[in-house]
């Protein structure tokens, strides 16, 4: 395992997506920014603020069912203080979807009323949903259309190209693939994205990634970690805790060696599925100015 895991990942198609967003923003009335509720800061693309400019914005905190509720409320307050409505959503179960439609209508009411006053025919509200890969965009679109409208996959980068989709409630959606930025200035952000699978596991050292997640959970959620893996105490170091998890689960190969790949995949998958508990990895006060 390499203790100094360095993540730098930016496929070419994401550069094209950024250009697609920039070129099509003029067609859109409101930008819907989809974030992962467990990592609202890390899953926020810093390019979006610049690209969206003064367009009305709605923030969606997806996977809210996997996040710590108290911490989620603090993130909602954080956005409220900045004049942005943040809506907690679970795209798998369809929780919170009506609020998205309502908020898009509220954000564009002035513009639509002005068009009607000028004698223009009422037209659908045009929205664009942006977000990093694997944050749940395709699931959200499928739920909003009420049909299977886009190709979805658990792996990032499955949704490609540009398409307009009609939604319920007189909305029209310009779908774009998820975008990541050219390089991760902050490795903490990169790790959080990797923990949540916004970056493909295939391009990472999976064992070191799991070790880093264990290290983080030992600090922010030690009790949940102990409870999930039935540990009396945690180790003095992350690798000791990782070993203890391996022994407890019986992940042992020949000659009594621990199977670190199996331990790593187990911990990462159980975090992603919410089996370790409802966990939020970062808070507004962690944001570096």
Is 149 annotated as contributing to ligand binding?
no
Sign of CA dihedral 141, 19, 63, 85: negative
Is 65 annotated as contributing to ligand binding?
yes
Is 136 annotated as contributing to ligand binding?
yes
Is 43 annotated as contributing to ligand binding?
no
Task: Give whole-number Cα distances, 182 to 7, 9, 178, 179, 187, in Å.
Answer: 11, 7, 13, 10, 13
> Is the CB of residue 231 less than 8 Å from the CB of residue 244?
yes
Is 98 annotated as contributing to ligand binding?
no
Residue 200 is encoded by which pair of tokens? 């493909």
Is 135 annotated as contributing to ligand binding?
yes
Is 288 annotated as contributing to ligand binding?
no
Per-residue buried b or exposed e for 224-239, using 16+ beta carbons within 10 Å of the residue's own CB? bbbebbebeebeeebe
Is 235 annotated as contributing to ligand binding?
no
DSSP-assigned letters across all residues of 256-268: G-B-HHHHHHHHH
Is 93 annotated as contributing to ligand binding?
no
Residues in the annotated binding site: 62-65, 134-139, 178
Annotated binding site for GTP: 62-65, 134-139, 178
């Amino acid at each position: 395992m390499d203790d100094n895991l360095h993540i730098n990942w930016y496929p070419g198609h994401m550069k094209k997506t950024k250009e697609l967003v920039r070129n099509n923003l003029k067609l859109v009335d409101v930008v819907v920014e989809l974030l992962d509720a467990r990592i609202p800061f890390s899953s926020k693309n810093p390019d979006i603020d610049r690209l969206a400019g003064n367009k009305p914005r709605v923030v969606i905190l997806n996977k809210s069912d996997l996040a710590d509720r108290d911490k989620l409320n603090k993130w909602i307050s954080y956005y409220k203080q900045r004049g942005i409505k943040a809506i907690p959503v679970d795209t798998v179960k369809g929780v919170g979807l009506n609020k998205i439609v309502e908020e898009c209508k509220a954000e564009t009411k002035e513009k639509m009323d002005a068009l009607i006053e000028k004698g223009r025919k009422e037209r659908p509200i045009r929205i664009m949903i942006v977000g990093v890969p694997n944050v749940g965009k395709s699931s959200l679109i499928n739920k909003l259309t009420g049909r299977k409208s886009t190709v979805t996959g658990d792996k990032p980068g499955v949704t490609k190209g540009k398409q307009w989709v009609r939604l319920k409630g007189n909305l029209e959606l310009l779908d774009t693939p998820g975008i990541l930025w050219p390089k991760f200035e902050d490795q903490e952000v990169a790790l959080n994205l990797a923990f949540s699978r916004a970056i493909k596991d295939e391009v990472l050292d999976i064992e070191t990634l799991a070790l880093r997640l264990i290290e983080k959970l030992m600090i922010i959620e030690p009790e949940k970690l102990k409870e999930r893996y039935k540990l009396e105490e945690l180790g003095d170091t992350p690798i000791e805790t990782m070993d203890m998890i391996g022994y407890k689960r019986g992940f042992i190969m020949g000659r009594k060696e621990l199977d670190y790949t199996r331990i790593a995949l187990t911990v990462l998958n159980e975090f992603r599925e919410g089996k370790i508990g409802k966990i939020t990895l970062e808070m507004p006060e962690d944001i570096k100015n």
